[in-house]
Amino acid sequence: MKLRLFLPLLLILASATAFAQAEPASPAGSFEAFRPIGESRVWTFEVDRQTIGSLTSTVTGKTEIDGIDGYVIQQDLRLDFAKAGSEIAILAEGEQYISERGYYLGCDLKLTINGQMSELTIERDGERLDAVVKGSTGTTENAIPFPVEGFGYESFFVDLFELYFAMHGAEVGQTYLDTLFSVQSMLPVNFSALCLDYKWQGLFTGKYDSVFVLNVTLPENFRLYLNKSFHLAKAEMPDRKLKIYQDYVGPARGRQQPQEPGFTVAGLTRSLPVLPVYLAFAALVLAVLAWHGLRSKYSYLGFVAGSVAFILIPFILHPIQKWVVDSVVIPGAQRGESLYMLALLPAITAGLLITSIFAIALHSLRRAPWGAAIRPDRLGAFFGAGFGVAESVLLATTIPSSFLFSMMLFERAAFVILFTLIGALVGRALFKDSHAIVKALIGSVLVVTLFKYLPILVQQRIVELALMYILALLIALILLGLVVIIFAREKAAAPGRRK
């Protein structure tokens, strides 16, 4: 039976996931190699899904303290826990000073905690840090012994956390034991952390990345998610029910919203190693649905046409979906409407537009001399396979190269199967009666909507991301089996066919 052809596909997928094992991330060579002057980073703080504030961290220039060359980090921390049922409000503005190797040189901060204002100045002096605190009760001075090659720490200054790991590197199983300088308490504190894993992780709505997962137990409990560039994409403080998300890295220009990763030539080059795998998916599915089409040169013109048709998606579908999200979904969610119902809108939009592209394109291609030379279901299958491979390549250009071979291939295989099926069904139906056309188009819209809706289950923590990939592939394989059975029955029932 032709479905046996999927045994090689599953072997390909199983082999590809073996490449997902992480290699260690080497330490940054210097502070400026990690964070150049003029770069800004922004984190958002949430408690129980309520945004309570943010941290903006910007490298503004160079300095020299106690004969040590260093860099200036301008920080702006604003937290208001009132939305979380607490009376605590924190405002911290000023500068942190970091050496070329990331060591702590001091700070100059203005702090406001629950309306009480103070100024904190810390400066490196040999093997100690001299601290001066000016507040409503007077001025306090302290000299704290702390080695020159020591790093800084503060719970909400997560940019210091990020810096620590950038200077130490990361490897699964690595243990970090150290003594850090706590900025607020002005005391050395013990630090203990363990790198638990490296995996593809859902970080927040619409954002996924390959990250090192680190568990910090001292000086307090943290769960950190750092990618191989040591961007602290997410941090969790379970004892405070606090989650921190990095939503901007780039030139200093104020607070930015997360941006969709764009297509680049470098990204396309990075995706080339996995292209043969996508083509193998397509070949196996086409061998099941359109075996005889593999021997026709016109079929491959249909494959190219499908790949070209996908170009419409970034320029038409994505802007429309963004408008739907900005105009309907976000305002609806803010009014307390069901996110599950609202998420149907961009998914249905995708279903309607993609089905329309398939129907219009296949109808037009059949009018061409070469398109009329092959059966419409075979033309549609090759068109859909090209469309699915093009989507897989585009998505691969926006992910880290270390993750090209991973469980995400399950999802890519599912979309190649899905679009090949849709092409075959729509192509077959367009040249039958109107009843068949309506059924094929409605079925296409529903199936595409289902696949585009699946990520909401991950975002709402109903299923894990890896499970969603497996679920998508299983659904696609089930649909493939059903279509093969339908096609076989129609062929057997056709007049003049041998039983």
Could you read off the pLDDT of 87-129 as tens digits, one per residue? 788 899 999 999 999 999 999 999 988 777 889 999 999 999 9
Please determine, for residue 218, whether its predicted confidence score (pLDDT) is greater than 80. Answer: yes
> Is the bond leading into 455 cis (omega within 30 degrees of zero)?
no
The partner residues of 90 in beta bridges, in order of sequence, read 79, 113
Question: What is the spatial distance between Cα 192 and Cα 178, in angstroms, rounded to a whole number?
Answer: 7
Structure tokens at 110: 């203005």
DSSP state of 274: G
Dmax (CA) for the chain in angstroms is 101
Question: What is the spatial distance between Cα 193 and Cα 175, in angstroms, rounded to a whole number?
Answer: 6
Name the band, by pLDDT with cuts 50, 70 and 90, for residue 387.
Answer: very high
Average pLDDT of the residues of the chain = 82
- Closest C-alpha to 151, from 133, 184, 178: 178
**b/e 119-131 (16+ beta carbons within 10 angstroms → b):** ebbbbbeeeebbb
Q: Which residue has the higher pLDDT, 322 or 385?
A: 385
Sequence spans of domains, the chain? 31-251, 261-493
**How many residues are recorded in the chain?**
499
C-alpha pair distances (Å), 109 with each of 91, 106, 112: 10, 10, 10
Name the band, by pLDDT with cuts 50, 70 and 90, for residue 151.
Answer: very high
C-alpha pair distances (Å), 423 with each of 409, 427, 429, 439, 441: 21, 6, 10, 14, 10
Please determine, for residue 289, whether its predicted confidence score (pLDDT) is greater than 60. Answer: yes
pTM over 0.75: no
Name the band, by pLDDT with cuts 50, 70 and 90, for residue 20.
Answer: very low
Please determine, for residue 396, whether its predicted confidence score (pLDDT) is greater than 80. Answer: no
Strands 152-153 and 138-145: unpaired
408-429 and 275-289 helices, crossing angle to 10°:
40
pLDDT one-digit tens code per residue, 173-184: 999 999 999 998
Question: What is the spatial distance between Cα 267 and Cα 398, in angstroms, rounded to a whole number?
Answer: 6
Question: What is the spatial distance between Cα 403 and Cα 43, in angstroms, rounded to a whole number?
Answer: 24
Name the band, by pLDDT with cuts 50, 70 and 90, for residue 394.
Answer: confident
Q: Which residue has the higher pLDDT, 499 or 275?
A: 275
